[in-house]
Structure 1
């Protein structure tokens, strides 16, 4: 589970959504995987402090998606009180380009 990019020569043509393993943030060893995905795919650079802010305060709201041991996606979120209710916020959502459009970022609870 070390690699953050698709393996060279690996075809995603036979990829199935059920082949994805979703893992809750498990500690410092997952942080480089999240950072690499975000740095490669998003245009806004983040400092190590930004990543740690989210994953240390809301580790239960950060997840990684693996395909055959390769980290292909991540979502990093937070939740806070706002006007006497709780509101969630997605800080980072990344799926590597070869794996997009296959439902990795969809919530299983989504009505869509």
Structure 2
């Protein structure tokens, strides 16, 4: 996926493997910090992704908000994001200046309170 360099894909995969191992051991998962922020430059959609599925690296987990919806934790296919175009035909972009300062759960709680993702 062109919008995600290999270093980011590697971190997402590492986080996914860590949580898969914890689930298999019957432990609670880690509330990772988001690794990447994606957004539609011509719309209100935002994604803060923290991990990808080890068994299907096309599936990412994170905090999602579509332009018409409310923020929620969930999964999304990276191939769908790569193919998506906004209202003006622009592709999804990666926020090159994003630096996570909290866990994904904290971002989710802030987003519920604010009615949108603040990152």
TM-score by length of 1: 0.29
The structure with the largest strand share of the pair is 1
Please say which structure displays the higher CA radius of gyration. Answer: 1
TM-score by length of 2: 0.28
